[in-house]
Amino acid sequence: MINSKILDEIGAKVSEVMASSPAKDVEKNIRAILASVFSKMDLVTREEFDVQKEVLLRTREKLGHLEERVAELEKAAMKPEE
């Protein structure tokens, strides 16, 4: 069975070779191009999306409470005074 130390050494060597190879430059260039394209697409981050989702949920809850309150007030206004 292969020793984990040998696997770690192989992984380190592969990382070292990849870091000094043209493949690393290609990866950097592709990342830069994608970042540029995404910045032009008017996208939101996941964090921004999650924040807006929470705001919408709270707003819906408040709206539900207000609708209930308006219905109660309308019902009370329609009752004949005693």
Q: Is 8 in a helix, a strand, or coil?
A: helix
Same domain assignment for residues 48 and 38: no
Rounded CA-CA distance 65/63 in Å is 5
Q: Are residues 81 and 57 both part of a single domain? A: yes
Q: Which residues contact 24 (CB under 8 A, 6 or more apart)?
A: 18
pLDDT value, residue 11: 81
Task: Give every CB contact of residue 44 below 8 A, 6+ residues apart in sequence.
Answer: 52
How does 37-53 read in b/e, with b if 16+ C-beta sit within 10 Å? eeeeeeeeeeeeeeeee
| 43-80 residue pLDDT tens | 788 999 999 999 999 999 999 999 999 999 999 999 87
How many domains does one find in the chain?
A: 2
pTM as predicted = 0.48
Q: What is the pLDDT of residue 28?
A: 80
Q: How confident is the model at residue 1 (pLDDT cuts 50, 70, 90)?
A: very low
Domain span at residue 37? 1-43
- Let me know whether 39 and 56 are in one domain: no
pLDDT of residue 14 exceeding 60, the answer is yes
**53 and 16 assigned to the same domain:** no
Q: In this structure, are 82 and 51 located in the same domain?
A: yes
